[in-house]
Chain A
Amino acid sequence: MTAPLLEVAGLTVSFPTRDGLHPVVRDVSFTVGREKVGIVGESGSGKSMTARAILDLVPPPGRVSAARLAFAGQDLRSMPTRERAKLRGKRISMILQDPRHALNPVMTIGAQLAETFRLHKGANGRQARERSLQALNAVHIRDPARVVDLYPHEISGGMGQRVMIAMMLAPDPELLLADEPTSALDATVEAGILETLDELVTARGMGLVLVSHDLDLVSAFCDRVLVFYAGRIVEELDARNLRAAQHPYTQGLMACVPRLGQRRTELPVLRRDASWAR
């Protein structure tokens, strides 16, 4: 048994405010192997901050502390900043919510992708372009030869997200963090993107952490689900046993979604209990 890909124990992220340090992630512990783990919670529950803390991308003045934060057995806390930056992108990468903000608007898709290959794989100009074409093909972009020369504003949101996935998978990372990768997209496009992501992650035997507020979606694509509430993990579930959820928050989250074929005059509203946040 080798060390799990990612080990997180006692992770706390806090921001200084007028009334002292305000924790947004509180004492969170979990591990990720070569599997798909979903993180679910509403806005402000600390799910994105957890992902950012793993990559050392918590914006100042945020403070991160952890009892253990390790990637493939290496301790991330004691690692020099420079070493950690090398890890980022190369072995752990992250897909952000909105491709329109995450792609460089003044560089063509091809140039951005090629840059990744040159930086991480030491490819020369022609190799980089060739590999970019292959990468676009792998994420099911039709006619990659045309798309490489387009600018981000000339492609749709769904295509942009596919480009992001291609770019993030280019250095063959071992762990991929996806922070709401489809929230900015249409429902019909969402399914295709997630299928592609699932296919590539499974084929390469990578670890995936999928952050989302949509419990249905996360449970369909992940093996395990961590439910966040007020900066804490309130429940950890096998995605197949979602129905067996014990925590009232998880049950509430599942009940409040309108579904086809399930007519209700009034949707049950999540009743928050102050004790959940404790």
Chain B
Amino acid sequence: MGADIEIRGLCVRFGSLQALDHVSLRAEAGSCLGLVGESGSGKSTVLRVLTGLVEQWEGRVEVAGRALMGGRRDLEFCRQVQMVFQDPYGSLHPRHTIDAILDEPISIHRLGNASTLIPQALADVGLPQDVRFRYPHQLSGGQRQRVAVARALLPAPSILLLDEPTSALDVSVQAEILNLLVALQKKRRLTSILVSHNLAVVAHMCPRVLVMDQGRIVEELSSDALDAGEASSSQARALIAASRHARTQASNARQ
């Protein structure tokens, strides 16, 4: 079962750069919230503040009713909130087997018996059992991302943060990972925040989408409004145009 995330007036500065400027958002338990924007718009910084990877910030951040401070997170928080990163080539230890990678959350959070949990975790994300004793370089990009998802789900988190989970993957593999994430999110009723610059990906997964630009939230859209192309801010319109660009051009040529 998921938990609420509530952020009010979040500000982050990196030197002279105002990375986040009074960002407020709320993700209800069990819902999936999308964050879109160009690179540098601050969407990943929101996730990094939540997980404690950014230590200096101002504002109020509450997860499951508990207020967060600075960059310190306790073990229980780390069990409840898990993150999947963009690049499955960089986020898995190259010299650990999949077994060792998945064993880590089990031993840290004392989840129980690895010999039953690891096969179950692999099955949950649709990986064959013979993957268990291989190294990351022996897997394809899509399989690696599945391992990263399996690792994130092992401690049975209530909140899953997804930072561009399919950007480093081929379109053919992207569909598999998106299907997996949608199914898991529904089945486990996870509260998720999905960050991406691909509007179509976000609209596919999230009923509610926030558009960010230069550290600010400029617009909130429902995925229905996105499908209909209804957006008032120029940033959101630019993103919609970009995701449709290919097809409008092709249809122009056809006429």
Chain A residues packing against B (C-beta within 8 Å): 42-43, 157, 186-191, 213-217, 219-221, 239-240, 242, 252-253, 256-270
What B residues does A240 contact at CB under 8 A? 250, 253-254
What A residues does B229 contact at CB under 8 A? 260-261
Q: Does B97 contact A (CB under 8 A)?
A: no
In whole Å, how far is A178's beta carbon from the nearest beta carbon of chain B? 16
Q: Does B106 contact A (CB under 8 A)?
A: no
In whole Å, how far is A212's beta carbon from the nearest beta carbon of chain B? 10
Q: Assuming A42-B170, A220-B246, A220-B250, is B239 touching A187 (CB within 8 A)?
A: yes
Q: Which size class do B's interface residues fall under?
A: 35 or more
Contact A191 B227 (CB under 8 A): no
Contact B39 A157 (CB under 8 A): yes
Contact B243 A187 (CB under 8 A): yes
Measured in the bound complex, the distance between the Cα atoms of B175 and A253 in whole Å is: 10
What B residues does A219 contact at CB under 8 A? 246, 250
Chain B, Cβ-Cβ closest to A157 = B39
Measured in the bound complex, the distance between the Cα atoms of B90 and A236 in whole Å is: 35
Measured in the bound complex, the distance between the Cα atoms of B231 and A261 in whole Å is: 14
Contact A270 B253 (CB under 8 A): no
Contact B250 A267 (CB under 8 A): no
Contact B175 A260 (CB under 8 A): no
Contact B175 A270 (CB under 8 A): yes
Chain B facing A: main interface SS? helix
Q: Assuming A220-B247, A269-B175, is B227 touching A261 (CB within 8 A)?
A: yes
What B residues does A187 contact at CB under 8 A? 197-199, 239, 242-243
Measured in the bound complex, the distance between the Cα atoms of B178 and A268 in whole Å is: 11
**7 A-B pairs in the complex with CB atoms less than 8 angstroms apart:** A187-B197, A191-B245, A216-B247, A217-B246, A220-B249, A261-B227, A267-B179
Chain B residues numbered 126-177 whose CB sits less than 8 Å from any CB in chain A: 141, 170-176
Contact A260 B38 (CB under 8 A): no
Q: Assuming A42-B170, A256-B171, is B228 touching A239 (CB within 8 A)?
A: no
Q: Does B203 contact A (CB under 8 A)?
A: yes
Contact A258 B249 (CB under 8 A): no
Chain A, Cβ-Cβ closest to B249 = A220
In this complex, which of B39, B171, B239 has the most chain A Cβ atoms within 10 angstroms of its Cβ?
Answer: B171
In this complex, which of B141, B197, B223 has the most chain A Cβ atoms within 10 angstroms of its Cβ?
Answer: B197
Measured in the bound complex, the distance between the Cα atoms of B197 and A267 in whole Å is: 19
15 further interface pairs, Cβ-Cβ under 8 Å (given A187-B197, A220-B246, A263-B223): A42-B171, A187-B242, A188-B197, A188-B238, A217-B246, A220-B250, A258-B175, A258-B200, A258-B203, A260-B200, A260-B203, A260-B240, A265-B182, A266-B179, A270-B172
Contact A260 B179 (CB under 8 A): no
Contact A242 B250 (CB under 8 A): yes
Contact B199 A260 (CB under 8 A): yes
Chain B residues numbered 19-39 whose CB sits less than 8 Å from any CB in chain A: 38-39
What A residues does B175 contact at CB under 8 A? 256-258, 267-270
Chain A, Cβ-Cβ closest to B226 = A260
